[in-house]
Amino acid sequence: MDLDDVTIYHGGQFKAYGDARIGLLTHGLNYGTGCFEGIRGYWNAAENQLYFFRLAEHYDRMRSSAKLLMLTLPEDTEALCRNTLELARRNDYRQDVYVRPIAFKSSEEIGVRLHNVKGDFAIVAVPHKSYFDASRGLKVGVASWRRIDDNSAPARAKLTGVYVSSALAKTEAVENGFDEAILLSSDGHVSEGSAENLFMVRGGRVITPPVTDSILEGITRDSLIELCRTELNIEVVERSIDRSELYAAEEIFFSGTAVGVGPVIEVDRRLVGDGKIGPISTALGDLYAKVTLGKIAQYRQWVTPCFPSLVAGAV
């Protein structure tokens, strides 16, 4: 894909990707003072429709990330959602898409701080490419890098600078022959993957670290907790997880906008369960795929259609 052909939203206008100019001294580039979102649109070919998943929730989360950085998003959530849909239409995306809204300190001057620095905001949408193929199950390793602590730089917010922690862990994992990393919190509990939340199954119950164990408060995590409880009738417990519990787990899976449900079949060279993708991971993965495509009536409120409906009589 050629980015020159992509229309973006920046400075309250739709423009060509190349027309947004960011200077070398931009505060956010130098000091990591920015926040972003990752949102997906799912192409439902049968309905000729692009469905955005939990669009408003992503912008609500972005607003709280921005608040942490003393940044104000330029529009309310309704307008941001409307402009995201318009952006996809202007690009005429009739395929899966990945949307990257970004807000950042934009003053071009030396001096690290949050106060008295201007902000900027843009939305870029590109065709979605698979982040990694989790269909055969992922082999993961516990990283030597710890997840950044809430009192250092909050992992709860999606801050650009905080992603150095993810990048260090991810590259270490890949260089050690794994697909992905699991990061521990500073007090040694399981936190999350480099860009995913983590769930494990023990004794038939689904367990995931609490939001106080240095995790991003994932929107997919929230969705899976709801689907597990309501649709699969499986108990979900939010509690701290010890590293050694990963070796005893019956199933482990990641959750995230990029990966969806990402089953893990090996941790630190030990098989998870019998080394095959487990039944709960499979059931949740199937359900989540249907929900994101707007195929399940009870969860239609989680998806926002992009194009005018072709159904007769619809407005």
Question: Could you list the active site residues?
Answer: 158
Q: Which two tokens stand for residue 278?
A: 């487990």
Query: CA–CA separation, 240 vs 22, rounded Å?
Result: 41
Helices (H), the chain: 27-31, 55-68, 77-90, 163-175, 219-230, 243-248, 279-292
Q: Which two tokens stand for residue 251?
A: 């199933």
Site string for ligand PLP, 108-137 (x = CB under 6 A): ------------------------------
Instruction: Give the residue with the Cβ less far from ligand PLP, 102 or 219.
Output: 219
Task: Write down the least CB distance from residue 129 to ligand PLP, Å.
Answer: 16
Q: Give long-range contacts, CB 8 A cutoff, 24+ apart: 160-165.
A: 160/28, 160/32, 160/33, 160/34, 160/35, 160/36, 160/102, 160/104, 161/31, 161/32, 161/33, 161/34, 162/32, 164/32
Amino acid identity, residue 99?
V
Contacts of 235 (CB under 8 A, 6+ apart): 205, 206, 229
Instruction: Give the residue with the Cβ less far from ligand PLP, 7 or 208.
Output: 208
Q: Which two tokens stand for residue 203?
A: 């004794």
Task: Write down the least CB distance from residue 297 to ligand PLP, Å.
Answer: 23
Using the rule CB under 6 A, which residue among 257, 281, 292, 304 binds ligand PLP? 257
Task: Write down the least CB distance from residue 284 to ligand PLP, Å.
Answer: 13
Using the rule CB under 6 A, which residue among 65, 166, 208, 281 binds ligand PLP? 166
Query: CA–CA separation, 52 vs 215, rounded Å?
Result: 24
Instruction: Give the residue with the Cβ less far from ligand PLP, 113 or 239.
Output: 239
Instruction: Note whether 256 binds ligand PLP by CB under 6 A.
Output: yes
Task: Write down the least CB distance from residue 275 to ligand PLP, Å.
Answer: 25
Task: Write down the least CB distance from residue 36 to ligand PLP, Å.
Answer: 9
Instruction: Give the residue with the Cβ less far from ligand PLP, 117 or 219.
Output: 219
Q: For Cα atoms 61, 138, 224, give the angle at the middle one, nearest 5 degrees.
A: 35
Site string for ligand PLP, 28-47 (x = CB under 6 A): ----------x---------
Touching ligand PLP, residues 183-242 (CB under 6 A): 192, 195-197, 216, 218-221
Q: Which two tokens stand for residue 104?
A: 């950042």
Instruction: Give the residue with the Cβ less far from ligand PLP, 220 or 292.
Output: 220
Binding site for ligand PLP (CB under 6 A): 38, 166, 192, 195-197, 216, 218-221, 255-257
